[in-house]
Amino acid sequence: MSDPVKLIEPRTLKGFRDYLPELMIPREWMLEQARRVYRSYGFAPIDTPALEYAEILLGKGGEESDKQIYRFRDSGDRDIALRFDLTIPFARFAAQYIGELGTPFKRYHMGPVWRGENIQRGRYREFWQCDFDTIGTTSNAADIEVSLVIHDLMRGLNLDRFVIHVNNRLVLNGLLEELGLAGHTAPLLRALDKLPKIGRDGVLAEMAANTGVAAAQADRLLALAQTSGSNQDILARLKSDFGTNPKAADGIRRLEELLAAATKAGIPDGMIVLDLSIARGLDYYTGTVYETFLTDMPKIGSVCSGGRYDNLAGLYTKQHLPGVGASLGLDRLLAALEELKLLKGTATPAPVFIVQFTAERIGDYQRMARVLRAAGIGAEVFPDAKKLGQQFQYAEKRGHKIALIAGPDDFAAGTWNVKDLAKREEKKGVPDAEVAAFVRSLLPV
């Protein structure tokens, strides 16, 4: 006996995941839906490299995101980094090609991004984003369209229990300006955001500690943020309190128009809500901001977020390239759907399973499989002539919908037995030429 081979433990990096068929089938389906919805609005596909020069990516999203960027030296000693999101590479891309693309330009981009942060449920170090953006226009029509795309995207993914939260940085900035707090925007908004967790007094304490603002100012800010009620109620309150500030007025107008247009376009009431606490997002957002939460799992975080950035490509070109867009967090949403048990659990993309009753007839089984495939129906022939029970168990485990069975007697008669695996109902004696049509009638449209 030789020494046992030292086995390498099979494992994946922290925060990186493998996808088995049960998860990859719905994941691919989600990508198809996102692609379909984006294309239906005229967004065109692009792709960019996973690796960029570090200088392209660093310093664009804020200090926190810089810390999370995977950065290396390649073998040519170049300072390179894995992309942190798809928006920054798009800014570089747009600056490079806008001359031939022309404006406005609408693109979608789906691919993996990497963030070296601590992992949590729905939070990974490698995950896919599905971005769509319109650049080259400041028109509010583009902002409005983003909310429609998010809605259609979620509906396209068979979800109806979600809420799109919108806000506008102009409103927040104008509001802080009006209060004379413009210099403390970031810490104030961060404190404000904790309202549900640490309460009114906690927020006031944090504001005082981090910014030294007067209690009266902080109080006024808090009072506004706590305004509850319908979108109309909040808009009215904003207008009366801060409508005289030019920035705030512009933001309020854009939000009001967005909400009205969305309703007019057919988005159901309650699916888009004005939420003044949606203040965060990356540093480059300047206008409308969006976050989408699942009603049944809000704690997993936003599954589709974005906003308007009026100067994104400014670091790479002197041409002014405003834009607005959002990003579907594919893997976070998948994790949520998995936990909510909304995934079907199919492990095969082929609905039809053909039993190998007898090895001598393998040619006939493969012929029928090809007939079905030609009819657009995926079909798989079992590789071994095992006992029928075992083959059925395999087919059931994999999630095949239909089984075809034919033995010597059936071949003599020129017929097949077609079995609905879920219902356990079998139609015997289906003529060879009619099998495809019959199978089609059993499958969902």
Binding site for RNA (CB under 7 A): 9, 14-15, 61-62, 64-65, 68, 85, 115, 117-125, 127, 129, 190, 193-194, 197, 280-282, 291, 299, 301-305, 327, 329, 331-332, 357, 387-390, 392-393, 395-397, 405-410, 417, 419, 421-424, 426, 428
Q: Kindly tell me the number of DSSP H helices and DSSP E strands found in the chain.
A: 16, 16
Torsions phi, psi for 224 (to 5 deg): -70, -45
Question: Which CB sits closer to RNA, 177 or 338?
Answer: 338
Query: Could you tell me where the DSSP H helices lie in 300-387?
Result: 330-339, 362-374
Q: How far is the CB of 143 from RNA (least distance, A)?
A: 17
Min dist CB 329 to RNA, Å, is 3
415 - beta bridge partners? 431
Q: How far is the CB of 338 from RNA (least distance, A)?
A: 12
Residue 61's SS3 state is coil
Residue type, 51: L
Shortest Cβ distance from residue 243 to RNA (Å)?
28
CB of 85 to RNA, least distance (A): 6
Decide whether 318 or 423 has the Cβ nearer to RNA. 423
* Smaller CB separation from RNA, 37 or 304: 304
CA geometry: angle 49, 28, 401, nearest 5 deg: 160
CB of 41 to RNA, least distance (A): 19
Of 199 and 246, CB closest to RNA: 199
Peptide bond into 112 cis (omega under 30): no
- In the bound state with RNA, the residue whose beta carbon lies nearer, of 305 and 348, is 305
Q: Quote the CA–CA distance of 393 and 159 in Å, as a whole number.
A: 32
The 10 Å Cβ neighbour count of residue 339 is 14
Half-sphere exposure of 144 (CA within 13 A, CB side): 18
| 116/68 Cα distance (integer angstroms) | 5
Nearest to 162 by CA among 267, 262, 292, 289: 292
DSSP 300-311: G--SEEEEEESS
Q: How far is the CB of 66 from RNA (least distance, A)?
A: 10
Q: Which is nearer to RNA, 245 or 356 (CB)?
A: 356
Give the Å distances, CA to CA, from 385 to 61, 356, 357, 361, 388: 59, 5, 6, 10, 8
Q: Is the CB of 57 or the CB of 235 nearer to RNA?
A: 57
